[in-house]
């Protein structure tokens, strides 16, 4: 019985310590997140969209974006529509279904997730791509792989 009481006390103390450490972590995380947003002044996001004939249909620039992800910035643009965090329409051009269908693909020469990939193709979704001080993205309405095959 004495061993059970000792084990219980050890578990209680360790849980209290873990709760304190977790609280400190959450506090530091949110204060750091605020500092990142304050340092976002001067950061830019430039994005363009091209239709299937490679005509420019959208060209915009947004300021003070560092620390946000691409989805958070683009969801404020009324010309870009999402399903969850996937772009499904830009300027009324919606993705298609079926084989050989067109969809919106993201390319970037500045984002770390894309700049070293073949053709600067971004294999990640907009919700996971956090923005830095200078950001440039191109959205192309195409059949998967056609842009990469042309290069």
- Kindly report, residue by residue over 15-72, the tens digit of the pLDDT: 999 999 999 888 887 777 666 656 677 889 999 999 999 999 999 999 988 888 899 9
* 36-73 CB burial, b ≥16 within 10 A, e <16: eeeebeebbbebbbbbeeeeebbeeebebbbbbbbbeb
Banded model confidence at residue 145, pLDDT cuts 50, 70, 90: low
Q: What is the pLDDT of residue 17?
A: 96
Q: What is the pLDDT of residue 41?
A: 78
For residues 125-150, give the mean pLDDT: 80
When comparing pLDDT for 103 and 125, which is higher?
A: 103
Does domain 44-150 match CATH 1.10.3470.10?
Answer: no
């Amino acid at each position: 019985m004495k061993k059970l009481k000792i084990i219980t006390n050890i578990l209680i103390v360790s849980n209290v310590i873990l709760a304190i450490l977790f609280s400190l972590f959450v506090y530091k995380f949110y204060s750091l997140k605020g500092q990142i947003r304050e340092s976002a002044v001067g950061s830019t996001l430039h994005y363009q969209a091209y239709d299937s004939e490679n005509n420019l249909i959208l060209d915009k620039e947004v300021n003070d974006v560092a620390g946000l992800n691409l989805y958070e910035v683009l969801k404020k643009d009324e010309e870009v529509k999402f399903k969850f965090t996937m772009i499904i329409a830009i300027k009324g051009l919606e993705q298609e279904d079926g084989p050989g269908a067109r969809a919106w693909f993201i390319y970037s020469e500045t984002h770390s997730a894309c700049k070293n990939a073949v053709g600067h193709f971004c294999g990640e979704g907009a919700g996971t791509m956090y923005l830095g001080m200078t950001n440039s993205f191109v959205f192309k309405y195409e059949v998967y792989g056609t842009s990469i095959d042309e290069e």
